Amino acid sequence: MKIQSSLLGQQKRSRMTMHFLTGLLFFFTSVILQAGVSGLDKSGHLQAIERPNDNGFFCAALENGVQLHVNGIVKNVIFYGPSTVRVNENLGRNYWQHPSIVVVSKPAAVPFKVQETAEYVAILSEKLQIRADKKTGALMFMDAGGRLLTRERAENHATIKQVDISGAPTYEVSHTFALKPDEGWYGLGYIDSAPTQINRRGQELLLIQTNMGIVIPMIVSSERYGIMWDIYSIMRFKDDAAGATLWAESAPGGVDYYFFAGNTMDEVIAGYRTLTGSAPMYPKQALGLFMSKERYPTQDRIVEVAKTFRKEQFPLDYIVQDWQYWGSDKDGTWSGMIWNPDRYPDPEGMIKTIHDLNMKLMISIWPSVGNDTPLAHELDQYNLRFEPLHWISRKARIYDAFSEKGREIYFKHINAGLLSKGVDALWMDGTEVEVGTACWNPNEVARDIKRLGNNAMGDFSRYLNPYTLMT
């Protein structure tokens, strides 16, 4: 009996050893270490790595995260900080030609571990636990203690369709999160056509930059995390029983978002600021009272108004010179960073008088540039104005703010014509960008911007919303 019992014990230990070795072998053949591989191309976008075979789920550990292959989808999960990750998935190829115009930070050397079970792969840092479902690739985000923050919808969390727009390949995408019933989602900018409630739960929004609509594709959750989609095209958001879904017309990198968590809302916003760059504080002067009207028509009039404010002891900090100081709204001088010599014969003297009143001057400028200005002539030497005419002037055209050379020329003339004369601040008007209308109707805005064609970085379908960011 003792011999039989001993033999049975040896067999049991042998089987346990075999199970352990099999599991260990499975781990190292399924999660392949890719030392020195970033999973990103030179522009910082997803680059698919080669996999040993095309069968089933595959996970490779990268320098700063992992790359997953599942059901024809390639998905990066890359750390940009201990509690910040970038999630990017597409069909194995990205169609961006340039780096992000929003994110300034780079992947971070965050210590992490990769663990695997039969159902999921877990990516663990000091601050986050992320689980990737091996059947679908859907992610679950948890804090260090295992508390669920949020998750991508378990089934069909993303749809990614390769399409051609304006002769260039891109993706049409949608992406869905499964939210907690009592969770609040706040953000996406100010959408004037949206319901007045700031909680976006249960809402449906069209995300197009307009005169009264500011698109910021970022959400802050009451569960103390944030999500920012790095996508610039027309987008639609809808939250209903199926989940919270963001659809985008043109996303050259596929689904591409940043997840950042924190113990407080301040920490969540800190993650966003680290990604996009610190926002400088406004100077004290900008916190006071501004006076603006539909323009002061002459140098004498704006000085008269400024002096009257001081005479009446009204605490005014800024007075604003609105449009047509350059000429009229129908000639070719529109926003040429010049002054009409008849109505503003001495801009430097005018501004000195305003400054002597302990007051500052803000002035409006536009991205539409009159055809008969030195600014337009220099831009045209490099083909840096778009063909469609501005809807008011009919003698002005939009400059290409996506061109580094275009911005250099534009701001050279701003400095020479305005800032060097003493102007203190710029009011950048019409940057939606305003072309064929006053930019109230989002569908008309999208139509007009697309008619501009291609800018220096690509077609306007993929860069519909961020003109304001570039100029």
The DSSP result for 365-396, as a single string, is E-SEEETTSHHHHHHHHTT-EEEEEPTTTSSE
Report the range of poorest mean pLDDT among 22-36, 89-103, 317-331, 404-418: 22-36
Question: Average pLDDT, stretch 175-186?
Answer: 97
User: Measured between alpha carbons, how far is residue 260 from residues 216, 218, 225, 238, 382 in Å?
Assistant: 16, 11, 6, 21, 41
What pLDDT, in 10s, does the model give residues 35-60? 569 999 999 999 999 887 767 899 99
What pLDDT, in 10s, does the model give residues 111-129? 999 999 999 999 999 999 9
Q: Nearest to residue 100, comparing CAs of 282, 231, 205? A: 231
Task: With a cut of 70, say whether residue 11 has pLDDT above it.
Answer: no
Pairing of strands 128-133, 120-124: antiparallel
Task: With a cut of 50, say whether residue 7 has pLDDT above it.
Answer: no
What pLDDT, in 10s, does the model give residues 261-308? 999 999 999 999 999 998 888 888 889 999 999 999 999 999 999 999
What pLDDT, in 10s, does the model give residues 192-224? 777 778 999 999 999 999 988 899 999 999 999
Question: Average pLDDT, stretch 306-335?
Answer: 94
- Which pLDDT score is estimated for 49? 93
Task: With a cut of 60, say whether residue 19 has pLDDT above it.
Answer: no
Task: With a cut of 50, say whether residue 451 has pLDDT above it.
Answer: yes
- Which pLDDT score is estimated for 20? 42
Question: Average pLDDT, stretch 435-443?
Answer: 89
- Specify the length of the chain in residues: 471
What pLDDT, in 10s, does the model give residues 73-113? 999 999 999 999 999 999 999 999 999 999 999 999 999 99
Question: Average pLDDT, stretch 167-194?
Answer: 94
Tell me the pLDDT of the chain averaged across its residues: 91
Task: With a cut of 60, say whether residue 13 has pLDDT above it.
Answer: no
Q: Which has the higher per-residue pLDDT, 164 or 31? A: 164
Task: With a cut of 90, say whether residue 464 has pLDDT above it.
Answer: yes
User: CA-based diameter of the chain, in Å?
Assistant: 117
Find tokens 């075979």 and name the residue.
53
Q: Which residues 6+ apart lie within 8 Å of 164 measured at CB? A: 170
Q: What are φ and ψ of residue 288, in 5° steps?
A: -95, -160
What pLDDT, in 10s, does the model give residues 227-240? 999 999 999 999 99
283: left (phi over 0), alpha (psi -120 to 50) or beta: beta
- Which pLDDT score is estimated for 4? 42
- Which pLDDT score is estimated for 192? 77
- Which pLDDT score is estimated for 24? 41
Confidence of residue 3 (pLDDT cuts 50, 70, 90): very low
- Which pLDDT score is estimated for 32? 53
- Which pLDDT score is estimated for 8? 42
Confidence of residue 347 (pLDDT cuts 50, 70, 90): very high
Report the range of poorest mean pLDDT among 12-26, 177-191, 392-406: 12-26
- Which pLDDT score is estimated for 437? 86
- Which pLDDT score is estimated for 35? 53
- Which pLDDT score is estimated for 279? 85
Confidence of residue 439 (pLDDT cuts 50, 70, 90): confident
